[in-house]
Amino acid sequence: MIALPLQKPPQSAGQSSKEQPMGDRILIIEDEPAIADALLYALATEGFETHWCALARDGMSWLRENPVDLLVLDVGLPDESGFELCRRIRQFSAVPIMFLTARKEEVDRIVGLEIGADDYVVKPFSPREISARVRAILRRTRSDPPQPGSAPTSDETPLFLHDSERRRIRYQQQWLELTRYEYLILSALLRHPEHVLSRDQLMDAAWDDPSASLDRAVDTHIKGIRTKLKRITPTLDPIITHRGLGYSIDMRAAETQS
């Protein structure tokens, strides 16, 4: 059970907290006012600028019209599943997303990761924990140190252009909208073309604490990357699965499948 702070009156859905306008902008989509107010207070105390929406449709409208640095999204919204809303958001935005849910089953966490979430927190939780997780996600997203042996600032192949300075990847002349973990996994494969990287190696490249991630996390993110690549070239699949070993990237895919 979350204890609400008594020092501050609750906000109404649709209101923003801009006491420190220079802070990162956090959008909260949560239908339970008590939980939302606890999060708003904890995040505002840490210097974040917050906005709360109680419905999926209102959150989507706000996200389309306003800059947001991170989204805290409840899975069990009354007008639309948080999972479905995440899928729609990922069609136009790579904003980091943290799921809040009462579901404890591993399969639900897998689904959340698969559709592009950056974190998944089960209720009940501590608002301070959420603040710490938000800071960690933003820190990793913006200032990950270069990985040993990383590609140069601009690394181009027939299929891909990896711009490591801006942390983005172009595929067949189109920039990909990748989540943090998708970007880190794909960039690791691009740094070692034609080489098989095990799941452990990919987890080391993408997670600060690989032991805390699920065994299937790499597989779900690979699936997400493949889906985005196939939207551009449905007949090509440059990511090769080596059963029992891991994954590699085939730079000759355009030649062999043309």
Host domain of residue 109: 16-143
Note the pLDDT of residue 22. 53
- Residue 3 within any structural domain of the chain: no
Per-residue confidence band for 72, with pLDDT thresholds at 50, 70 and 90: very high
- 40-65 pLDDT, tens digit per residue, is 999 999 999 999 999 999 999 999 99
> Which residues are 197's β-sheet partners?
247
Domain boundary among 143, 172, 200: 143
pTM equals 0.60
- 3-45 pLDDT, tens digit per residue, is 433 334 345 566 565 544 457 999 999 999 999 999 999 999 9
Spatial neighbors of 93 by CB under 8 A, at least 6 apart, are: 63, 177
- Residue 44 within any structural domain of the chain: yes
- Residue 45 within any structural domain of the chain: yes
Mean pLDDT of 89-102: 86
Kindly report whether the peptide bond that precedes residue 124 is cis, defined as omega within 30 degrees of 0: yes
172: Cα within 13 Å, side-chain hemisphere: 13
Domains in the chain, number: 2
Domain boundary among 109, 143, 177: 143
Q: Mark whether 184 and 126 lie in a shared domain.
A: no
Q: Mark whether 68 and 130 lie in a shared domain.
A: yes
Best CA proximity match to 45, nearest among 124, 131, 126, 138 = 131
Q: Give just the sign of the alpha carbon dihedral 24, 25, 27, 28.
A: positive
